[in-house]
Chains A and B, each alone.
Chain A
């Protein structure tokens, strides 16, 4: 997969010939410094951005030619998102934010599931609070619950601890790891705080838009 912004001399090759596959239930970290292209890569996996060339297959489905409406449905049912800033809808309560992906799906009432998820992330007392009345750490936990409400194939997290203090960051990391383990869901997490996550299933390093893994990755890290 490649992603090139702009044209001609001003073109920026943000992602260069990246190709990898992720197993079901795997917790994959994509690490790299700021501007390395890791968020661009995650956005393309989440269909929030289009690759200049290349394709993404999820659960055997080639997503290349899906139309905008189909991609929206795909994002809604197969993917969960956790952003750096929790990006909750301030007009809704905590519970309503968690329920939103299911309501978009128009697939029955999921209040019990949402309440259960909010209990799991430790926010059962906050469910009726407006989303803008809770702390940043709490908001990120709500975002995780929202990402999981539709039982997606993959949860994509872009710098989920990037905007949190160390205590809250640790809580979020542990929460995501435990959820991945408990639910057997695939997590692809972009971060530049590799150490925060400790032992994970797999790590891909992105540098200057290229992906490195295994021996190549070790050689590059030694070189750095």
Chain B
């Protein structure tokens, strides 16, 4: 082993307090970034996951400024012939005023978003049916699934109760219908249709007088990485229908844009934390240099060059950086594994979508390793400036 590496290691090992302090500074910097990533990126990914599962699928097809008038069955069948596609389903969105009479008390009408689904196709292409905690999905034409918040606002409507909805059809006429509540839907973090109601798509079409019209087609893929390929294929196949097809990243963009800025800010704070760790290393290394002044003088006296002294303390930075990066990454991975295994969530909100982003993990470890080395340069440089005689006079 090179004597400078050997001496650097020994000096650090014999200054365990300083070594532990410096390693902790690096590790904590990394851990903060990992925790930030797990929480904020996990939350972001969880929102994307749920938006994909409940609202947009992997590919979301609409028509520019209008309803899709092509047969939904034809389009669904077209998609389902593509090997990457697991399932596709039509959706039709509207809104309605809703009221209910519960225990003789009529709850004032308020407006709710209405989602029309094809229950038999939707259960294959979307996970919204899984959020129906009480009752069942909208298999019957006069059934309705209420979002848990809507049910609560209607005075605690339960499965089997009746609700009345007033729609405005395509001709501007009010259409009032009574529905039997078949289920109540609740999703973690309210990312599902907790604030909406779900009805059979054909019922909604009939009410709106939009027979054979569809609001959107949701496409679920076996392999989500093929979304762009499927989207492009679809648009190429229907060039003159004014279709608009978006991947989940595109359809969720407006919702998530602000969130992404937030994550960037949090990451920036994490990197500032890492910079603070670097300053801690500078301080600790300066203390080590100060406590080893006499030894530096002796080494210079017996022939060590400035370069040797510089390398000695940079080696210490490498050791601190390597141990710190390894420890911090290990701690970060333990936390990530814990968050993943326990499906970490905050007070019943949606479970974080925890992933191991190896490139980011590597990048974080390398950045703190490089920072630890960079932080050692100034103390090392100061050490090289010591004159042998003056250094040896230090007690």
Contacts and interface: CB of A to CB of B under 8 A. Distances in A.
Interface of A: 43, 46, 48-49, 68-69, 72-73, 75-77, 81, 83, 87-92, 96, 100-101, 103-105, 146
Interface in B321-364: none
B164 interface: no
A146 B3 contact: no
Contact of A90 (B295, B302, B303, B388): B295
B389 to A, nearest CB: 5
A81 B301 contact: yes
A91 B303 contact: no
B295 A89 contact: yes
Given A89-B7, A89-B295, 16 more contacts: A43-B389, A48-B301, A48-B389, A68-B305, A75-B303, A76-B302, A87-B297, A87-B301, A87-B392, A89-B299, A90-B295, A91-B10, A91-B295, A100-B299, A100-B302, A104-B304
Contact of A91 (B14, B389, B392): B14
B389 A72 contact: no
Contacts of A69: 305-307
Contact of B305 (A72, A83, A100): A72
A146 to B, nearest CB: 7
12 contacts: A43-B389, A49-B389, A69-B305, A75-B301, A87-B297, A87-B298, A89-B295, A89-B298, A90-B295, A91-B11, A91-B295, A101-B303
Which A-B residue pairs are the 10 nearest by beta carbons? Answer: A76-B303, A103-B3, A91-B10, A72-B305, A87-B298, A48-B389, A75-B303, A104-B303, A101-B302, A48-B388
Nearest to A89: B295
Interface residues of B, number: 23
**B interface secondary structure, majority:** helix
Contact of B303 (A87, A92, A105): A105
A96 B10 CA distance: 12
Contacts of A43: 389
B153 interface: no
A104 B302 contact: yes
Interface string B293-321: 01101111111111110000000000000
Contacts of B388: 48
A109 to B, nearest CB: 12
Contacts of B295: 89-91
Interface string B279-296: 000000000000000110
Contacts of A88: 298
Interface in B176-194: none
Contacts of B294: 87
Nearest to A102: B3
A157 to B, nearest CB: 13
Nearest to B1: A103
Contacts of B303: 72-73, 75-77, 101, 104-105
Contacts of B304: 72, 76, 104
A72 B11 contact: no
A104 B299 contact: yes
Nearest to B307: A69
B7 A146 contact: no
B150 to A, nearest CB: 72
